[in-house]
Structure 1
Amino acid sequence: MTDRTETATAATTATPTATATTTATDGPTYDRETVSVENGSRTLATIEVRIADTYEKRYTGLSDTESLDSGEGMLFVHDEEGRHAYVMRKMDFPLDILFVDANGTITTIHHAPVPPEGTSGNELERYRGTGKYVLEVPMGYANETGIEVGDRLVIPNGTA
């Protein structure tokens, strides 16, 4: 979930893929895409993501989701590359939060546990990074698949 901060501009990485639409529980409707993470010519992971490309979708994020399976996630798409802060607002499960620049390079990876019960919005830890995209996957997924800062997220045409 985003805490909304945006600056700078840039282009995007792209490969064609089909789009389907799904709805999170009582939340906004999300398009779905398949993205991959590569290290050179080697594919480290293929992830089925929900696309959060509006303020409402970025704000809600995964808070209406009970869990994610391995290989599932959410891709937050910002209008411009910049510094962003994400929080674990109303989350039921921990996440890996990956910040990705406009060219698809992973710039930062955070491992974010669920906040202690009763944590207020002002007390939530802010996970900060620079990018146009933020990819959230189940906590531990980056380590399990060998995803590291400097690897490349391949995003389908038309997603950004």
Structure 2
Amino acid sequence: MQRPAVVVLGLVGLLVAAAVVLQTGLWVEALGTGEYEEGTVTVREGSDAALPTATQPATDAPTPGTTVAVREQEAGEPLGTVKVRIAKTFDQRYVGLSETASLGPDEGMLFVHDEAGQHTYVMRNMSFPIDIIFIDADGTITTIHHAPTPPEGEQYSEQYPGYGKYVLEVNRGWTNRTGVEVGDRVELPPEAT
């Protein structure tokens, strides 16, 4: 009779240990996240903004690099730019900006998911507040959250859900400063598609 109880307790112990390793991200430290790619993203005002196709690049797009540019639809003038790293793998998305001490005023990260869908982000071990911008597969901004840092002594903040294939994280208040709103359109770099 005691042998099945020992087996069950052993399995429960393994499951608890696995949950702790997953929650704390220790497995990411052991395996690493790999290299981040960089690319250019352009945001245009309004959902009816014309976007170039993959075979027809924008003629006014900046050269490939690390720039995210926000532009008004009519004038095409940039509203702001952000240097980004592209997080494409699960490990990169899991770590996100949590290992970043701070961002410059125009820096951020672009998260790429395999498919458009409902995704939820948290401020895991974050040292600074951010704007979390959800972008649908067609480039339309669907949701913007202004996320504060987690409360003192807590590893996570509240949850920030949204629909999209892409998520852009920038310093908190960047969307207010640049005028980026839900419904604006984003041109994605080839590295992100």
Please report the TM-score for the alignment, with normalisation by the length of structure 2: 0.65
Match of 2:189 in 1: 156
Structure 2 letter corresponding to 1:105: T
Q: The residue matched to 1:158 in structure 2 has which SS? A: helix
1-structure distance, mates of 2:153, 2:102: 20
1-structure distance, mates of 2:100, 2:191: 25
8 A Cα contact 1:37 1:153, kept in partner: yes
Query: Cα deviation per residue 1:71-117 (whole Å; 9 max; x = unaligned)?
Result: 21100000000000000000000000000000110000000000112
Q: Percent identity?
A: 57
Q: Which has the higher strand share?
A: 1
Give the length in aligned residue pairs: 133
- Counterpart of 1:37 (choices 39, 43, 55) is 43
Match of 1:135 in 2: 168
Query: Cα deviation per residue 1:42-64 (whole Å; 9 max; x = unaligned)?
Result: 34333221000000000000011
1-structure distance, mates of 2:149, 2:186: 25
Q: How does 1:1-160 map to 2 (within 5 A)?
A: 28-39=34-45, 40=49, 41=73, 42=76, 43-121=78-156, 124-160=157-193
Deviation of 1:30 (Å): 0.9
Deviation of 1:27 (Å): 5.6
Q: Which runs of 5+ in 2 are unaligned?
A: 1-31, 50-72
Q: The residue matched to 1:98 in structure 2 has which SS? A: strand
Q: Which has the higher helix share?
A: 2
**Relative contact order: is structure 1 or structure 2 higher (C-alpha 8 Å, sep ≥ 6)?**
1
Structure with bigger gyration radius: 2
Deviation of 1:154 (Å): 1.1
Q: What RMSD in Å do the two structures reach over aligned CA positions?
A: 1.5
